[in-house]
Amino acid sequence: MGSNPAGRANHLDLRPVSNLPISRFPVPRLEDLPEDVRARILAVQEKSGFVPNVFLALAHRPAEFRAFFAYHDALMDKPGGLTKAEREMIVVATSGANNCQYCVVAHGAILRVRAKNPLLADQVATNYRKADITPRQKAMLDFAMQVALASATVGEADLAALREQGFADEDIWDIAAIAAFFALSNRMANVTSMRPNDEFYLMGRVAK
Amino acid sequence: MGSNPAGRANHLDLRPVSNLPISRFPVPRLEDLPEDVRARILAVQEKSGFVPNVFLALAHRPAEFRAFFAYHDALMDKPGGLTKAEREMIVVATSGANNCQYCVVAHGAILRVRAKNPLLADQVATNYRKADITPRQKAMLDFAMQVALASATVGEADLAALREQGFADEDIWDIAAIAAFFALSNRMANVTSMRPNDEFYLMGRVAK
Amino acid sequence: MGSNPAGRANHLDLRPVSNLPISRFPVPRLEDLPEDVRARILAVQEKSGFVPNVFLALAHRPAEFRAFFAYHDALMDKPGGLTKAEREMIVVATSGANNCQYCVVAHGAILRVRAKNPLLADQVATNYRKADITPRQKAMLDFAMQVALASATVGEADLAALREQGFADEDIWDIAAIAAFFALSNRMANVTSMRPNDEFYLMGRVAK
Amino acid sequence: MGSNPAGRANHLDLRPVSNLPISRFPVPRLEDLPEDVRARILAVQEKSGFVPNVFLALAHRPAEFRAFFAYHDALMDKPGGLTKAEREMIVVATSGANNCQYCVVAHGAILRVRAKNPLLADQVATNYRKADITPRQKAMLDFAMQVALASATVGEADLAALREQGFADEDIWDIAAIAAFFALSNRMANVTSMRPNDEFYLMGRVAK
Amino acid sequence: MGSNPAGRANHLDLRPVSNLPISRFPVPRLEDLPEDVRARILAVQEKSGFVPNVFLALAHRPAEFRAFFAYHDALMDKPGGLTKAEREMIVVATSGANNCQYCVVAHGAILRVRAKNPLLADQVATNYRKADITPRQKAMLDFAMQVALASATVGEADLAALREQGFADEDIWDIAAIAAFFALSNRMANVTSMRPNDEFYLMGRVAK
Amino acid sequence: MGSNPAGRANHLDLRPVSNLPISRFPVPRLEDLPEDVRARILAVQEKSGFVPNVFLALAHRPAEFRAFFAYHDALMDKPGGLTKAEREMIVVATSGANNCQYCVVAHGAILRVRAKNPLLADQVATNYRKADITPRQKAMLDFAMQVALASATVGEADLAALREQGFADEDIWDIAAIAAFFALSNRMANVTSMRPNDEFYLMGRVAK
């Protein structure tokens, strides 16, 4: 995966390794996409060595594609009180609760990479309460799961519990917003029957 | 609401009529906002005669604000097989299931206006199965509720049921995407304790 | 609604404004009803200016009609520690949880009138936790929802929490009994597909 | 139980055999009750040889007592397409689903007596799907459970399924109304912590 | 039941009193069983006067039969901090929650015998929170129900609550293991549609 | 893993790689175990190159240990209509539904090995409906999930659906029994907070 010859970035092999459909809906050809969408896809291929299927499946709707990734980047790549690994923990835990195969597999891979921990993602996906995380991280995930599964019950006491663990109000917004954004993402992946790329399964599991 | 003197658009009265907080998180002052965010807010005030609180509450995070409304517009203002009233039905039904006060009240108002029907929103919010809608619209809402509440169970048979009612695959994406986007929206409104503007409650209930 | 010429009370127009059925079961003609049932119906028409459909739908079974309204009056019109508006809050919150369109719309109207508050009913119907109510009223509704949704779990600690908010034991019985009675009422309305009168939707929303 | 000397009916022994409280709320003394309520209680004692605790617990509120038993009698003692045993099956199955100890024990006893079957009540209380009942009775209980647990989902197809089993529409009303009435009854018994009389446990289990 | 002439133990009457099937799957003839399985069945008949149907239904698979009863005996007949009646309470409460007719009826009978209490089993099966048990026993059943219904949520605080009630860690293992074993047993009984023997219904209800 | 020098089998390194506790309860030393339990543990170490923690955690109770593994072997190692990989699919799918970290990780590894497929386990654990399996396998898992989550609802129609997919009645018993056995296993793993061995995470993911 590390070896990604620059010469490869000018074309895109849309066939998944396993030759199975990656979406229930039409997947556009790279050359038919608006320039900015194509550029974003080529950039992620350049960086990762492959194109995560979420980019291809959502490119079917360029306007939604742009908003989706703008939202994603605003939440996942920003500075703040949560580490990047912690943000991915939120994704993996809530996606597990929503039975979203794409997000558990793809963000599980990213979590392993971000946390430099080959075990954490599988633990968090199945039962974060028993994962190798800190009490502060467990409180973070308790709240994220409440947002994912029963957001109408969120009250002042829930925010107070997070503040006791040292979370700033901006961190609380981040936790909530990530859980909320992946509520959207999980539903789109489930409805489109989005297929995780084969590459994700092994990513971050072995030292390079 | 009809009377909206143009001269008023240059300032913004952030105090809600009822003087109660509109968000658990800080609400920015208009003058502190980036130009594009401020312009969007002034435009909606110009058009509606007031600023729906979702604009003010989410403006706390301009990058997320931009992505949120870009996504919203991509789904709610586009042409396609679903009428604007039908899109609002999806919002109201799924927001009711998620117990989202802001979205039920605000989009209930928009549904009344779009459908030119003062009864429909309250019916759909409580139990769409008994609302004054067509069998096709009921099938649409059955699917939207499945996406909102149990998206992992969506299978080919569910899409087939929609096609039998005459929905094109692009319509099915629209239904799913609206339900998915408001899964996000409901969670943000619930966590921020977003307050519906007083203006929404009566909107569309009486002939002007 | 205010104008209800006395001369009108001698006949009854059973056709709903929208000409849609008000029950899945037969709706009796006024002249076929026992004298006491007819008198009750004419009295409510005299007072309200229209006949709420629950009277017509349940009149199909006069013995049950009598017991139903006797029970209703024993709970809703009695003196005690709960105001009439508070009793209606219990009805609206639990009927929302049971997705009962008739009760949310009809008692939502009565709540607006009793509380002289045009916003409260829609707030309570969707999520009472965020409604403009006092902490004491929130505790009341927490308990009412427990009775509605998980009555087997009610224990001494739940009653103690209400007493701490100043509720007398007779008030606690009232809260429980109203939630229990509308458990019945919601189910009958849902099974009969009882239609809320068009008049309810606007009632209490505008100053006369 | 059979031996009930007439001379005993003039006084009432309110102490339960086990000397444990029969309600969380005050239980009135017979002499303090309104004449009609006392008469009803003495009549049931005369007939049954003991006073079921529901009469004593609910007599705390005479107006509600009257409405409750009027409703009960209107549903349980009427002629119609359902046998008395079938009506009790509905009570036992739905009360089991609501975890109502009083109603399962007391109406389980009545079901054994009505059906002249010592096994049926325990079967129906735990899982009616495996009870010694006919397919028609299973359809009846399927519907009763839907009314008890998810009444908002009742639609025309559910009624059609009952009609296919030979139920008249009046029978369908009966099934729904019994399930609805015991939704109320179960909640009152759960909140008052109503204790089943010791006598019920053995009733109908052995030939006299 | 006490009178079980030794001469009867050499043959086995597989016909249930009610002549209804005791399993959806084939029930082996005694003479076709491996010697150890047959011996176990004859021994229980000798002791109880009849063969509980679970022995016959599970004998269809001798290897599973042996493991099942070895596990059962390891948990239910061992010494320790829980009485035999308390172990049966766990079985009855969790089997009620799993709607397992066989286990509620059969172990309800054993609970009545073990506790020398004719009321306890029916109370525990429907709602253990209101049964005639000690606070320590209620804490035991709270935990058993958590294991039965939501074991992934078990955390240190849950164990601490049991220790406060005086339970040793070995007792906690016992509670959990009994609830876990009957999670298996309930599922097998439900899938095989295992029929409780008629004898169980009356057992322990009347003094001999 | 393949290289397991015979000389290593005579001692046992109980320390998990990550030095974290493998059970909330005491873990016995190998030398303190009964001979047969120790032999079983040494045999599995010999075969696998490490001792799965379930052996050590359950060895705390030798009698239960013996019954547990006898049951396990009777279900998982037997011949029959289900392949070994299919049996593991049942384990992984139902353990995912029960949020059992140990069983998902450990049996996920075994599934990868048995199916010679590095992707299948993660797919099945999160949402078997979208896994790379046949319609027959999907029907098998539909039923296994019903047994795991709602066994009281299993009826003749559910068995008929399996027979239509070509399953023999003995296969149906196998599916049910595996789901039932892991209902037990999941609960023990959750309560003991059983830790998956680090070795499992990578097993079956890479060609040797």
Give me the mean pLDDT over the C30-41 stretch.
Answer: 97
Q: Above pLDDT 90, what percent of chain D?
A: 87
Task: Identify the band that residue B18 occupies on the pLDDT scale cut at 50, 70 and 90.
Answer: low
Cα–Cα distance for residue pair A151/A134, rounded to 1 Å: 24
Question: Average pLDDT of chain E?
Answer: 92
Closest partner residue to E105 among D100, D122, D190, by Cβ? Answer: D122
pLDDT of residue F135: 97
Q: How far apart are CA F163 and CA C14, in angstroms?
A: 54
Tell me the pLDDT band of F20, cut-offs 50, 70 and 90: confident
Question: How confident is the model over E96-107, as a mean pLDDT?
Answer: 98
Q: In angstroms, what separates the C-alpha of B185 from chain F's closest C-alpha?
A: 25
What are the tokens at A169?
């109000």
Task: Yes or no: say if D176 and D147 are a contact pair by the CB < 8 Å rule.
Answer: yes
Indicate whether this complex's ipTM tops 0.85: yes
Start-to-end CA distance of chain C, whole Å, equals 9
pLDDT in tens, B133-184: 999 999 999 999 999 999 999 999 999 999 999 999 999 999 999 999 999 9
Mean pLDDT over the full length of chain F? 92
CA distance D207 to chain B (A): 50
Distance, in Å, from the CA atom of B60 to the CA atom of B53, rounded to the nearest integer, reads: 12
Answer yes or no: is pLDDT of D74 > 60: yes
Taking an 8 Å Cβ-Cβ cutoff, which residues of chain C contact chain E?
A: 152-153, 155
Question: Mean per-residue pLDDT for A103-130?
Answer: 98
Across residues E11-23, what is the average pLDDT? 63
Q: How far is A90 from chain F, CA to nearest CA, in Å?
A: 16
Three-state DSSP class for residue A100: coil
Contacts E153 to A, Cβ<8 Å: 129
Q: pLDDT at residue E1 above 70?
A: no
Tell me which chain C residues have a C-beta less than 8 angstroms from the C-beta of E129: 152-153, 155
Report how far residue A28's alpha carbon sits from residue A38's, in angstroms, rounded to the nearest whole number. Answer: 10
Residue F18: is its pLDDT beyond 90? no
Q: Please, where are the H alpha helices in B22-61?
A: 35-48, 53-58
Which of F122, F190, F192 should we substitute to test contact with A (largest number of A Cβ atoms within 10 Å)?
F122
Is the model more confident about C19 or about B153? Answer: B153
DSSP E3: -
CB contacts < 8 Å between C and D, how many? 116
**Which of B112, B119, B186, B203 to mutate: most C Cβ within 10 Å?**
B119
Check if the beta carbon of residue D174 is closer than 8 Å to that of residue D80: yes
**Cα D205 from Cα D193, distance rounded (Å):** 25
Q: Are F186 and F98 in contact (CB under 8 A)?
A: yes
- Phi-psi map region of D16: left, alpha, beta (phi>0 left; psi -120 to 50 alpha): beta
Mean per-residue pLDDT, A160-174: 98
The total of other beta-carbon atoms located within 10 Å of residue D26's CB is 12
Q: Alpha carbon A92 to chain centroid distance? A: 7
Q: Record the tokens describing residue E69, joined without a space.
A: 């009863």
E129-187 pLDDT, tens per residue?
Answer: 999 999 999 999 999 999 999 999 999 999 999 999 999 999 999 999 999 999 999 99
Q: What is the band of F64 on the pLDDT scale with cuts at 50, 70, 90? A: very high
Contacts of A181 in chain B (CB under 8 A): 184
Rounded to an integer, what distance in angstroms lies between the CA atom of residue B174 and that of residue A192? 12
Residue E36: per-residue pLDDT: 98
Chains near B with 3+ CB pairs less than 8 A apart are A, C, D, F
C130: nearest CB among B193, B201, B205: B193
Per-residue confidence at F208, pLDDT binned at 50, 70, 90? low
Question: What distance in Å separates the CA atoms of residue A26 and residue D18, rounded to the nearest whole number?
Answer: 71
Output DSSP code: residue D78: S
Neighbours of A153 (CB within 10 A): 13
pLDDT tens digits, residue range A27-68? 999 999 999 999 999 999 999 999 999 999 999 999 999 999
Asked if residue B120 lies in contact with residue B111, where contact means CB atoms within 8 angstroms, the answer is yes
- Range name among A74-83, E164-173, F192-201 with the lowest pLDDT average: A74-83
Nearest Cα residue to F92 out of F137, F43, F52: F137
Q: What is the model's pTM?
A: 0.93
What was the pLDDT predicted at D140?
A: 98
Return the pLDDT at D20.
Answer: 87
Per residue in C135-191, pLDDT (tens digit) is 999 999 999 999 999 999 999 999 999 999 999 999 999 999 999 999 999 999 999
| Region E86-111 average pLDDT | 98
Chain length of chain B: 208
| Contact between C127 and A152 using a beta-carbon 8 Å cutoff | yes
Matching residue, tokens 């795991």: F148
Classified as helix, coil or strand, C2 is coil
Distance from CA of C179 to the nearest CA of E (A): 20
Residues D168-187 have pLDDT tens digits of: 999 999 999 999 999 999 99
CB F94 within 8 Å of CB E98: no
Distance of CA A60 to the CA centre of its chain: 19
Please check the confidence at residue A17 and state whether its pLDDT lies above 60: no
For residues D34, D35, D38, D43, the Cα torsion angle rounded to the nearest 10 degrees is -150
Give the one of F25, F68, F98 whose C-beta lies nearest to E71's C-beta. F68
Using the predicted structure, report yes or no on whether residue A18 has a pLDDT greater than 80. Answer: no
A78: confidence class by pLDDT, cuts 50, 70, 90? confident
Confidence of residue C203 (pLDDT cuts 50, 70, 90): very high
Q: Is 50 exceeded by the pLDDT of residue D4?
A: no
Give the HSE-up count for residue F5: Cα atoms under 13 Å, Cβ half-sphere.
Answer: 4
Angstroms from D117 CA to nearest CA on chain B: 40
Q: Which residues of F touch A (CB under 8 A)?
A: 18, 20, 96, 99-101, 104-105, 108, 118-119, 122-123, 125-127, 130-132, 190, 193, 195, 198, 201-202, 205-206
> How confident is the model at residue C9, as a pLDDT?
40
Spatial CA neighbour of B93 closest among B107, B81, B83? B107
Cα–Cα distances (Å) from E8 to E33, E40, E56, in that order, read 19, 15, 17
What is residue B8's predicted lDDT score, i.e. its pLDDT?
38
Q: Which residues of A have a CB under 8 Å from any CB of E?
A: 127, 129
Structure tokens of E55? 């022995």
Whether F119 and A190 lie within 8 Å, measured CB to CB: no
- The pLDDT value given to residue D68: 98
Nearest-angstrom CA–CA distance, C61 and C188: 12
| Distance of alpha carbon F99 from the chain centroid | 14
Mean pLDDT of D66-81: 95
Q: How far is CA C185 from the centre of its chain?
A: 8
Of E68, E73, E173, the CB nearest to F71: E68
Q: Which residues of chain C have a CB within 8 Å of the CB of D34?
A: none
How many angstroms from the chain centroid is the CA of residue F132? 20
The tokens describing E88, both together, are 């049966």
Identify the CA nearest to D174 among candidates D76, D54, D44, D93: D76
- Do the Cβ atoms of C107 and C90 come closer than 8 Å? no
What is the model's pLDDT at position C20? 87
Q: Which residues contact A104 (CB under 8 A, 6 or more apart)?
A: A92, A95, A96, A125, F122, F126
Tokens 């929103």 sit on residue: B121
- Rounded distance between C-alpha atoms, residue E131 and residue B158, angstroms: 45
Answer whether A190's CB lies under 8 Å from C167's CB.
no
DSSP codes joined into one string, F79-137 = -SSS-HHHHHHHHHHHHHHTT-HHHHHHHHHHHHHHHT-SSHHHHHHHHGGGSS--HHH
The CA distance from A122 to C129, in Å, is 36
Separation of alpha carbons B132 and F139, rounded Å: 38
Give the SS3 label for residue D52.
coil
pLDDT digits (tens, 9 = 90+) for F141-174: 999 999 999 999 999 999 999 999 999 999 999 9
Closest approach of chain E CAs to the CA of D116, in angstroms? Answer: 14
Contact between B127 and D155 using a beta-carbon 8 Å cutoff = no
At B108 the pLDDT is 98
| Interval A92-107: pLDDT, tens | 999 999 999 999 999 9
Model confidence at A173, pLDDT cuts 50, 70, 90, reads: very high
